[in-house]
């Protein structure tokens, strides 16, 4: 099988050409320009078998990131597996907002709840080396991926296992970040996301349960003047603002992603509780 034949096989399976090229780049450890210049290069039998299997898995809807085992997030190449959600570009909005809240030279305690691959925690730690970042996740498999990513990038994030605030008893933070599962349990989009961990996408029901849990637990874990920043679904901003006001937060603000969708809501904690 040549590279051209592999691309033809992709086409027959309905796999996008760019996806097939990306798989070939990873499999052969060659850049796209090399693939284009060597399209008559014969794959070894093992490589041909591997690309056939990768193309079949892609055609069955598996995310590219799982097939190549990594995804880039804010310039960090992160290992991903089916134990974690694939980091989304829109989540960079939450990181940008977090960086605004953290002066570059300030030491501060920061927490990322439900860290998955570690994308948010690691991006913040890399860009704010003086911050002391802690990240929690209920899943041991997810934490193993996040720890591997921290090691790979030499970032000293502290990882703890448990639901939301549970493993952080007695600790208070200057900044709390969370991209919880927020898709409603009956959202038809879940079908297209079936290869990702369902528990990382949806808390079931109306999609608000995890956000509610994080907001309600926040006052006991925030320092006076701390910020709580949350990612949520495009139609959940009003509900999240109400939750924040109900828990005693001041003046919630909602920010929009590049697609113009309400994507993150945050607020400042006025005092200790
Ligand atoms: N934004 C993701 C999606 O719709 C959902 C991520 C999440 O639930 N935190 O694919």
Q: Is residue 71 part of a domain?
A: no
The reported pTM is 0.93
Q: Are residues 116 and 214 in the same domain?
A: yes
* Helices 119-127, 92-101: crossing angle, 10 deg rounding: 40
Q: Same domain, yes or no, for 155 and 237?
A: yes
pLDDT score recorded for residue 10: 97
- Boundaries of domain holding 141: 82-268
- Whether 124 and 32 map to the same domain: the answer is no
- Do 96 and 229 sit in the same domain of this protein? yes
**pLDDT at residue number 103:** 85
Gyration radius from the chain CA atoms: 21
- 19 three-state secondary structure: helix
| 234 and 110 co-located in one domain | yes
Spatial CA neighbour of 144 closest among 214, 83, 218, 74: 83
- pLDDT score, position 40: 93
Q: Same structural domain for residues 17 and 131?
A: no
Could you tell me if residue 72 is inside a domain? no
Please give all residues whose beta carbon lies within 6 A of any atom in ligand 1, as ranges.
88, 179, 181-183, 193, 201
Q: Which residues in the chain come in under a pLDDT of 70?
A: 272-273
125 and 44 assigned to the same domain: no
Q: Which atom of ligand 1 lies nearest, measured to the CA of 91? A: 1
d(CA 229, CA 54): 37
DSSP track, 60-104: TT--HHHHHTEEEETTEEEE--TTSPPPPGGGHHHHHHHHHHS-T
CA distance 128 to 207: 32
Number of domains comprising the chain: 2
- 74 assigned to some structural domain: no
Q: Percentage of residues in the chain with pLDDT exceeding 70? A: 99
Average pLDDT, the chain: 96
Query: Model confidence over 215-233: pLDDT tens digits?
Result: 999 999 999 999 999 999 9
Are residue 43 and residue 171 in the same domain, yes or no? no
For the chain, what is the largest distance between any 2 Cα atoms, rounded to a whole number of angstroms? 68
- Measured in angstroms, how far is the CA atom of residue 139 from the centroid of ligand 1? 17
Give 46: exposed, middle or buried? Use CB within 10 Å, 0-12, 13-18, 19+. exposed
Instruction: Assess if residue 252 is contained within a domain.
Output: yes
pLDDT at 273: 47
Within the chain, residue ranges assigned H as helices are: 3-13, 17-28, 32-37, 45-59, 64-68, 92-101, 119-127, 140-153, 198-201, 209-217, 237-246
- Note whether 148 and 255 are same-domain residues: yes
- Do 56 and 183 belong together in one domain? no
Which of 61, 65, 80, 85 is the best mutation target for the ligand 1 pocket, counting ligand atoms within 8 Å of the beta carbon and taking the most? 85
**Whether residue 163 sits in one domain with residue 258:** yes
Tell which one of 183, 196, 236, 237 to mutate to probe ligand 1, the residue whose CB is within 8 A of the most ligand atoms. Answer: 183
């Amino acid at each position: 099988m040549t590279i051209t034949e592999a691309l033809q096989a992709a086409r027959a399976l309905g796999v996008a050409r760019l996806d097939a090229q990306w798989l070939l780049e990873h499999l052969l450890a060659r850049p796209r320009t090399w693939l284009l210049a060597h399209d008559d290069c014969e794959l070894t039998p093992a490589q041909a078998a591997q690309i056939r299997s990768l193309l079949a898995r892609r055609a069955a809807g598996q995310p590219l990131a799982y097939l190549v085992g990594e995804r880039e997030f804010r310039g960090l190449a992160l290992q991903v597996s089916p134990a974690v959600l694939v980091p989304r570009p829109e989540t960079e909005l939450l990181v940008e907002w977090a960086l605004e809240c953290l002066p570059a030279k300030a030491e501060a305690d920061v927490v990322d709840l439900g860290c998955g691959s570690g994308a948010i925690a690691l991006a913040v730690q890399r860009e704010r080396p003086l911050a002391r970042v802690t990240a929690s996740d209920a899943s041991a498999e997810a934490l193993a991926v996040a720890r591997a990513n921290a090691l790979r990038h030499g970032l000293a994030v502290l990882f703890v296992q448990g639901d939301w605030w549970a493993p952080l008893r007695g600790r208070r933070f200057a900044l709390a970040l969370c991209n919880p599962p927020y898709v409603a349990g009956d959202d038809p989009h879940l079908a297209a996301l079936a290869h990702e961990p369902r528990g990382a996408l949806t808390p079931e029901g109306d999609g608000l349960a995890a956000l509610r849990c994080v907001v309600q637990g926040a006052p006991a874990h925030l320092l006076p003047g701390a910020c709580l920043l949350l990612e949520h679904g495009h139609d959940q901003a009003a509900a999240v603002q109400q939750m924040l006001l109900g828990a005693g937060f001041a003046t919630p603000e909602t920010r929009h992603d590049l697609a113009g969708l309400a994507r993150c809501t945050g607020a400042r904690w006025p005092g200790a509780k």
